[in-house]
Structure 1
């Protein structure tokens, strides 16, 4: 089977673009082919990347595909290390960032095979292939990657270069960053081999020389290089078939049919090559560990919880403490070969961590990529319990003032600004955002608190990926610049003037607005003729009773240190406001769940700013409109609080009885309009 890749060998050239090399005869087109995705000159290239990923079905690939492709790649050819670009990585966007994949100990460069298609839509992907019999030193590999990066800098001015390193490839990426602090690099490190001195492979390397070939493949943990599974094998057994039988016992059931294919391990890492690569691992970890403290590059560390080769979970925490510009994503159920496992999607991980950018600084508007159906499903799963428990009622207001069920009163085209009341803990967000997408095809971009984007905030959370779904769904840090950019792209923007003070209100403050005295939205909205949609949401008084609020917690002796960590300078908003809204200290409220009531949403009549730009430049006129918007939000809340008393299905039990009779997919009725 022919391997669907194009190869370029830039090792002996000043630029990898100057020579065309193929896989079979080393004569097919390289990255400069006319296929879709080839680079244009910097002068002609657009800075706009595709905003929507192709939603067509992407072919599922895994271990079997990795093995089949690798058989072609590992044929001895006497060649040096080289770059190749899989054909399925054909970039769809104009001038995307360059991504260099640095493989693990296998060296094939096919470790991202499951991710090729999705990566190729937003990156220019090059994969490093190190031939089986190649004996390039670690320093030589570092220099090779350096030459490529320096050559490419002239083509990618003001763009980052991504280095995705796996195992020893992660060490290679770190070494390149150490030696090139002036280059804008983004490192994505999967189970880095910096922990080699503490790994099982350290002990393996001490006695590997006395194990006869081919029995070295049966050494415990060796097959983990490919399968990620621990191989508990009795080293005293000397019969070949017994060795192999025991070695493959740990392979997942779905791989047992490929037993014959896995014999290629003997070809991909013969004993001589394995000894060499273990020595490479030792050199790599020594070099990097002594210099980690100087790494300044933006770094994302992916750590498997069931890695049988390295203590990756602990190592990620250690490295992160040394790298001030790093973040961690833990994958507790995954093993060493994280990129070959079904549960991991590299593109989604990069997007969720906020690590996708196409210039020196991330642009939360132009760099944003809409969620795929799978990402949307996963991001909204956490809110399904609210849909089930609260049976949301959606109401909107037509231009003639009539209130109707559904979103008929919401304009279909932007720009528009949704301005409303923030329930406790923002519980209203999930159903509202989800239903607007599924029923109205409106993607609401939220103006969010900087706490959701801060590295220190992640470290306070039980799961560092807690806020990833917000970024995937399009939340942006609150700033006038981001608000301006969203309106300029005719987006639908969600804004809560009450902010954290409203979402984390104290006892007895349900449905009280904490808005600034002066407008923060009107003049900007009028500049782009955006419609303003006031809305209110009420539930069973937010579904929780607040047992301890901020005023209670600050009296607890041990809370002072946590309060300082949560409310550090980097996440303070409106700290210079003298009014109540300036008191926006974040805190984890201690709450007691109530029996779930019902959620009611009312979107008021859209307020036009079209044709009023000159009028609303006047601060007094803008202030009057701002107070009108606030009044409309309060009217929405008052209407819903009154009308919910007439709802025969306000109680959870009555709704459950209705759904038992009519089916749980049936819409539960509500009060008469």
Structure 2
């Protein structure tokens, strides 16, 4: 009685069975309800919108009278996604916030832009044009005794007309061929293999009639089901009064939709143009995220997708699901760590990163991370420069974890947690997989989260230059873009943290700046602007849109940080020629004990801050100077050595 409502709106078939695997988990948090539409139902799109709205109104009113939770989340699959949009638009006219959030799985709002208006005519029209379409199958078969009917004896197909069977055969074949993806095709193959195995066993026993009969019975079931759930008349009605009418009803209205929307799309959906539709919805709907389910087709609500986890990270997550990003964090499993490292194996081979630190006893530079402190009860704060397109993150996290056994929990831009598409360098977090940054302990950067991590004695990774350092202009390679002053030294001092300054180089050489920021601005203002590729506008717009993530999220004391989080104007990059790729180098300086800092005044804190900044700059300078002495700095020479010797190439002498 106290749970919010989760309402599932089904696809074109009206059954909703495709989402069955989601309901048990969702039932822990929500009161789960599913709309079912009978095959003989002749409601229109408008009728269904009214019916669902009426149900939601009644449910919310009953909860309101009892002063109980009355928020509502809708999940619409295919046609259900189109219906969910209509319901949300209608309810918001009556009351703001009536729908807390929408999840749209391969929504059929793309119907009019797909080939289905034409293809559907083939499915429903061709059988009607067949000669003898009204003859039943039983009339076409020669006289047979009951025993000779085999699997057909128990099938209703004998009473179906030739026209109906043609419709079912064409429709099922077309839908099956389009809806299959790697997983569903594999499942179907396993079932088919099992049936053929049973057939072969029957044949070996000499039971030919029984084996063939069972196979016919299994095969005819699919046609029976289609004719039962979606007979021709139902398909014709739903094409016209569900999909066509619904598409017209929501046209030009999505820009006023007020609730938060998450669009889930299969990367290989061949039933609808869902990838293109997701891009369109993201542009039209004011608050819309897109998540792409990798290697999935039209049916994506199986075990590959966890709707509960998706809601956990959404803006409409119910309070019972909300987690503390620090206290509730769990270390990734060995298997997750192994998978993450394997996924980065190619880029690791390309850059062949090498690491250096300072030995605690000799104070000399050594290869590896032996100079880094072991973990104790006090926090450790790694502070360094961020490299182009954040290519350094994978190497930093994995190397420290493997060599020292602790996880650096990054303070990351909220952008990395919100699945915004279209910006190079942060791929992978919108493909349906668990966000690798969150998996390895990253939290959205804020003074509050930083303090929580420090208080908990965590190992923290901070890039004071933020996103600005990941998109450097031509003259900014490896130059720190830190703010004039930072609070991190006060925080580190308060919690007696050990600060590890570090520098990294090598990523900037992987890209060339085609156009610098001022050149892009001039080009956009020139007469050539209308002729520019979509990239120039699309890239910039998405970057600007993501700044909206900051608004309203910060207290007055945090406004300076919120301003730092705004995406800077970015140059236009292109990949550098392969032979120009540099090696990646990381150097961890001597630990600094922040408990010794004098932060009693702003001037003293700034002095401590400058000390850390200078240490980072010296780490970068050391690497830029020493890499010139590395005989394997060039990717071609290095790759040849590592291929021939099956081990990492050596580097410069220390």
TM-score (norm 1): 0.66
- Find the aligned partners of 1:620 and 1:396 in 2 and give their Cα distance: 30
Contact 1:107/1:131 (CA < 8 Å) preserved in 2?
A: yes
Note closer, same or farther for the CA distance 1:112–1:404 as it changes in structure 2 (3 Å cut). Answer: farther
Unaligned ranges ≥5, structure 2: 135-159, 196-214, 551-557
Cα deviation, residue 363, structure 1: 7.8
CA distance in structure 1 between the aligned counterparts of 2:336 and 2:186, rounded to whole angstroms: 32
Aligned to 1:586: 570
User: Match for residue 354 of structure 2?
Assistant: 393
**Distance in 1 between the 2:479 and 2:281 partners?**
45
Aligned length: 553
Aligned to 2:107: 192
1:152 is displaced (CA, Å) by: 7.1
In the superposition, relative to structure 1, how do residues 116 and 369 fare at CA in structure 2: closer, same or farther (>3 Å)? farther
1:110-259 equivalence runs, <5 A: 110-112=17-19, 126=32, 128=34, 130=36, 135=41, 138=48, 139-140=50-51, 143-144=54-55, 161-181=72-92, 182-196=97-111, 199-200=116-117, 202-203=120-121, 207=125, 213=160, 215=165, 218-223=168-173, 228-229=178-179, 253=189, 256-257=192-193
Describe how 1:264-343 pairs up with structure 2 within 5 A: 264-266=221-223, 268-271=225-228, 273-274=230-231, 275-276=233-234, 279-280=237-238, 282-285=240-243, 286-287=245-246, 289-291=248-250, 292-293=253-254, 294-304=256-266, 307-330=269-292, 334-340=296-302
Deviation by residue 1:50-89 (Cα, 9 ceiling, x = unmatched):
xxxxxxxxxxxxxxxxxxxxxxxxxxxxxxxxxxxxxxxx
Shift of 1:290: 1.8
- The partner residue of 1:539 within 487, 506, 509 is 506
Choose between structure 1 and 2 for higher RCO, CA contacts under 8 A separated by at least 6 residues: 2
Taking the aligned partners of 1:227 and 1:125, their CA distance within structure 2 comes to 36
Moved more, 210-219 or 510-519: 210-219
Aligned equivalent of 1:446 = 410
For 2:325, what is the secondary structure of its paired residue?
A: coil
Matched with 1:102 is: 9
1:420 Cα deviation (Å)?
A: 0.6
Unaligned runs of at least 5 residues, structure 1: 1-16, 18-40, 43-96, 231-248
After superposition, the C-alpha distances for 1:321-369 in whole angstroms (9 at most, x for unaligned) are 44221233456864322335x9x54469938986684449988936978
Q: 1:485 to 1:225 in 2, by over 3 A?
A: farther
1:411-426 aligned at under 5 Å gives the runs: 411-412=374-375, 415-426=379-390
Stretch moving more, 361-370 or 545-554:
361-370
State the distance in 2 between where 1:548 and 1:390 align.
25
Which structure dedicates a bigger proportion of its chain to helix? Answer: 2
Report if aligned partners of 2:509, 2:580 keep a CA contact under 8 Å in 1: no
User: What does 1:44-63 align with in structure 2 at a 5 Å threshold?
Assistant: none
- CA RMSD, Structure 1 to Structure 2 (Å): 5.0
Relative to 1, partners in 2 of residues 1:136 and 1:619: Cα closer, same or farther, differing over 3 Å? farther
Q: Contact 2:13–2:229 (CA<8 Å) still a contact in 1?
A: no
Cα distance change on mapping 1:596 and 1:269 into 2, 3 Å: same
CA contact (8 A) 1:390 1:598 kept: yes
Match of 2:583 in 1: 598
Partners of 1:604 and 1:458 in 2: how far apart?
A: 36
Deviation of 1:534 (Å): 0.9
Q: Please give the TM-score of this superposition, normalised by the length of structure 2.
A: 0.67
Q: Which residue matches 2:149?
A: none
**Match for residue 621 of structure 1?**
604
Cα distance in 1, alignment partners of residues 566 and 266 from structure 2: 42
Inter-partner Cα distance in structure 1 for 2:507 and 2:281: 46
**2:580 aligned counterpart, secondary structure:** coil
Distance in 2 (CA, whole Å) between partners of 1:154 and 1:309 is: 44
Aligned mates of 1:338, 1:397 — CA distance in 2: 50
Tell me if structure 1 keeps the 8 A contact 2:379–2:454: yes
**Contact preservation (8 Å) 1:166, 1:192:** yes
Residues in 2 aligned to 1:146 and 1:566: alpha-carbon distance in whole angstroms: 36
Q: Is the 8 A contact 1:225 1:336 kept in 2?
A: no
Cα distance in 1 for partners of 2:486, 2:262 equals 39
414, 426, 429: which one aligns with 2:393: 429
Cα shift readout 1:428-453 (whole Å, capped 9, x = no counterpart): 22211233344444443433446656
For 1:372 and 1:101, locate their aligned partners in 2 and report how far apart those are by CA, in whole Å.
Answer: 33
